[in-house]
Structure formats: C-alpha cells, structure tokens
C-alpha cells in the first residue's frame, strides 16, 4: 500500500476489469441451453462445471438431518442470535398500504404487495456462507414472500456444506437447489420442469453469476450487479493503527480484487497503519489473497484537513465506511455516499457482516452514490390506488382533457369528457 497525498491530480475512481467477450458468450450459451433443454440442460451443466452428477436437484430431508449431526451447538447458537438481530432490524422496514380520502370523494393510496416467489443464490465451493443466506432470506420473509427457492453449487459428491443447509433449515427454507453459476440463475429466471420460475433473484456470485443476472434482468428482477468487496476507513490522529490495519485486512482477504482504503489526516497514522498491515499479514491464513488485494487495489490517502478527507470518502462511495475518528457522530451528517457506515472503534466491519442486524448486501464500485442496501422493500411491489368520485372528475375533466390534447392524445381527452358531461354515469 502506498501513501498518497490527496490533491486535484489524484483520481479516486475505482477501475475494475470488465468481463471478457468470451465470458459473455459463455453465459449467453448457458442461459440459452437452460431455456431450451430445461432439466436436462441443468443436469449436464452441473456435471460439466461442478463435477456432480445429480439424481435429484433438490436437497433431501435426509441430507438436512445429516447436516445437523455434523454441526456444532456453538455454531448453531451463534446463528440463531444473528438471525434474531437481523430479523428485528428488518421488521422495522415494513411498510403499510395506505389510503387517503378528500372532501370531494376522491380516494388515493398505495397498496404494498410482497413478491410471490424469490430466488436466493448462495456461493458454494469450499466455502460456506451462512451470512449470505440470512441477509437474503430474512428480508424476503419479513416482506411476506411465501415461496423462497435457494440455490448453491454442490461439491463433486453432489453435497452442500452443513453450514449452508443448517442455516437454510433454521430459516424454514425447504427448497434448496443443488446448482450454481449461470445455469442456476437461468433456471430460476425461466424455470424448468423441476425448478420453479421466480420473480426476483438476489445473492452474490462470481463473474458468471453476475453476467447471468444481467442477462435475465427484465425477465425477472435482480438485486444488483455486485462487485468485489470494499472498505474505506476514515482516520484522524486518535485512530489506533493496529485497529485500522486489522479492518483493512478483514476486507482484503475476501478476494484479490477487493479494495481496502485508508483516508487520514495524520501522517503518523498513515505510516504506522502501513507498517501494521505488513506485520499482521504475516500470520494471516489468506495472506496471498489479502496481499494481492492491498497491493493492486489498496491505498492510503493523506488529507490536509478533515474537510478534504470527508470529501474523498464521499467520492469513493465505498461499500463499507468506518469512521475511526475521535467523534464519529459529529461527522455522520457530512457523509453522503456509503453502503454502510460504522461509527467508532467497537463497530468493526465484521460486526455488520454477521451480527448487528442491518443488511450486508451493499452497493459496490461507487454505486452507493445512487443505490441502497438490500431491504424489505426489495421484495415488495407497490400499486397505486385511484378512486375518483363524480364530483372530482367533473371538477378536473377540463384540465385533464387540456393536458391530453397538449400531448396529441384525443382519445384520452374524450374518455374523460364523456364522464365529465355525465354520459354513461
């Protein structure tokens, strides 16, 4: 990580490598195969990419029982505590339908309706991601979605990890598809003989999953095209370099493409944090991944004032923003762009990943400028309610017809005028 003094010539834009034409063609071919061959295509592609030949696409009750036998009570207790916190937070996001009435008899309102069916993608392979399941399933359930289909790539034996299965079972998710990659996304989007078609697909994945979500968007809704994880740490002279370094590394270990950035007004903190990062990396199990991330996508920016530092933070619009400063609450109102904001030394980013309650599915790659964390709202749709009385229509008919004719839509004008004149009333 290099220390760079902020100035007009310093670009804070994060330039990620774009997908290749070959990757896009591969995803297009996979989606087309699922649409054409359904279950047969899904079976072939699962064997090709995951090495698993499946007799059944869905996890069986016996597999669920085996998962519980292989899962520790300590882990189960931690999961249940996290679930309670996450559910409590998301319950506060529930919106109610509403209707207003006016003296002329007009009724206007908004009807909130949950989606019928949601699909949740959970990355697989050697890792298990219970937190991904919780953060996607709980807001959907809280919104009132009654049917949730989860999918995750199996290992070569056609199995999913106990952590994934137990988490799903604890949340009451019973339909778990053993498939991954673009083929799983396509199956959820278009449906097969066995896999039901969903209304929305959420959850992270590799480049093929991201491209597949982009390919099927419009056929179904998606949460976002998520990029590699990011953290921005804002520090002043009171910040502990030890803690700042630990938090930077916590995101760098995700992926070689992850971004970890320190913005500080203190040269001492900048230099000591850099030294601490090098020291802490030595004993990190994922040292090579974290080191590559910090080398290619990490940075330490030195600001000449807190005003300049805050402006840099807003330009970065990071997925995770930690305010490791003397008075983080005083700066909160000045933060305009961030996916999640962590205040003070005891609010380390992993607290938000696993336990606090707010959703950890967050906008990346600067999109926090215009988008928000996954929420209950993402699993509902809103319908407007309009009920005019005769009195209200007669009062407004002339203006409505006038605007319609401004747009050259005579049929619109006449439809209102016929009622306004009392015809067919």
Q: Is 305 annotated as a binding residue?
A: no
Catalytic option among 90, 230, 276, 320 = 320
The yes-or-no answer on residue 396 being catalytic is no
CA distance 339 to 324: 16
Q: Is 183 annotated as a binding residue?
A: yes
Q: For the chain, percent helix, then strand, then coil, each to nearest 5?
A: 45, 15, 35
**230 marked among binding-site residues:** no
Q: Which structure tokens are listed for 369?
A: 């400028």
Number of residues in the chain: 425
Residue 389 assigned as binding residue = no
Residue 205 to residue 226: CA distance in whole angstroms = 8
CB proximity list for 42: less than 8 A, separation 6 or greater: 34, 57, 179, 183, 184, 187, 192, 194, 195
Say if residue 15 carries a ligand binding annotation.
no
Judge contact between 258 and 298, C-beta under 8 A: no
Q: Find out whether 2 is annotated in a ligand binding site.
A: no
- How many Å apart are CA 210 and CA 214, to the nearest integer? 6
Mark 153-164 as b/e (b = at least 16 C-beta within 10 Å). Answer: bbeeebbbbbbb
Q: Do residues 223 and 374 lie in contact, with contact meaning Cβ atoms separated by under 8 Å?
A: yes
Does 96 belong to an annotated binding site?
no
Q: Are the C-beta atoms of residues 150 and 124 closer than 8 Å to each other?
A: no
Token readout for 239 is: 């910040």
User: Is 171:141 a contact under the CB 8 Å cutoff?
Assistant: yes
Binding site annotation covers 353? yes
* 102 carries a ligand binding annotation: no
276, 319, 322, 349: the active-site residue: 319
Residue by residue, DSSP assigns 308-375 as HHHHHHHHHT-SEEEEESS-HHHHHTT----SEEEESTT--HHHHHHTSSS------TTGGGT-----
Residues 181-205 as b or e (16 or more Cβ within 10 Å = b) = bbbbbbbbbbebeebebbbbbbbbb
Task: Check if the beta carbon of residue 108 is closer than 8 Å to that of residue 57.
Answer: no
149 forms beta bridges with 119, 175
The answer to whether 320 is a known catalytic residue is yes
Residue 61, classed as helix, strand or coil, is helix
Residue 251 annotated as lining a ligand binding site:
yes
Q: At what angle do helices 207-216 and 181-190 cross, to 10 degrees?
A: 20
Residue numbers in the known binding site for substrate are: 229, 251, 254, 320, 353, 407, 412
Active-site positions read 319-320
Residue numbers in the known binding site are: 121, 183, 206, 229, 251, 254, 320, 353, 407, 412
């Amino acid at each position: 990580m290099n220390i760079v003094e902020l100035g007009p010539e310093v670009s804070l834009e994060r330039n990620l490598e774009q997908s290749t034409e070959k990757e896009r063609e591969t995803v297009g071919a996979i989606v087309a195969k699922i649409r054409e061959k359904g279950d047969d295509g899904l079976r072939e592609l699962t064997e090709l990419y995951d090495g698993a030949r499946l007799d059944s696409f869905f996890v069986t009750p016996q597999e669920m029982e085996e998962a519980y036998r292989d899962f520790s009570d300590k882990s189960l207790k931690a999961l249940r505590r996290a679930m309670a916190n996450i559910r409590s937070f998301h319950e506060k996001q529930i919106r109610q339908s509403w209707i207003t009435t006016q003296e002329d008899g007009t009724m206007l309102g908004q009807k909130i309706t949950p989606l019928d069916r949601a699909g949740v993608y959970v990355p697989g392979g050697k890792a298990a991601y219970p937190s991904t399941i919780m953060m996607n399933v709980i807001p959907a359930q809280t919104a009132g979605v009654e049917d949730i289909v989860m999918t995750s790539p199996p290992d070569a034996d056609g199995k999913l990890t106990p952590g994934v299965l137990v988490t799903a079972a604890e949340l009451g998710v019973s339909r778990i598809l053993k498939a991954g990659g673009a083929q799983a996304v396509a199956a959820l989007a278009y449906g097969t003989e066995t896999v039901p078609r969903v209304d929305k697909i959420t959850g992270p994945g590799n480049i093929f999953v991201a491209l597949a979500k982009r390919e099927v968007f419009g056929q179904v809704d998606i949460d976002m095209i998520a990029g590699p994880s990011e953290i921005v740490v804002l520090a002043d002279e009171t910040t502990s370099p030890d803690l700042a370094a630990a938090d930077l590394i916590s995101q760098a270990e995700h992926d070689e493409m992850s971004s970890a950035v320190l913005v500080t007004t203190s040269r001492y903190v900048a230099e000591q944090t850099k030294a601490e990062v090098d020291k802490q990396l030595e004993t990190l199990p994922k040292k090579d991944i974290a080191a590559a991330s910090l080398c290619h996508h990490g940075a330490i920016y030195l600001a000449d004032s807190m005003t300049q530092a805050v402006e840099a933070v807003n330009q970065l619009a990071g997925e995770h923003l930690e305010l490791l400063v003397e008075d983080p609450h005083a700066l909160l109102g000045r933060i305009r762009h961030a996916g999640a904001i962590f205040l003070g030394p005891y609010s380390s980013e992993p607290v938000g990943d696993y336990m606090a309650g707010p959703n950890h599915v967050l906008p990346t790659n600067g999109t926090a400028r215009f988008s928000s964390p996954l929420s209950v709202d993402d699993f509902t749709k809103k319908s407007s309610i309009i009920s005019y009385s005769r009195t209200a229509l007669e009062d407004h008919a002339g203006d409505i017809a006038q605007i319609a004719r401004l747009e050259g839509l005579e049929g619109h004008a006449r439809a209102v005028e016929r009622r306004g004149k009392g015809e067919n009333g």
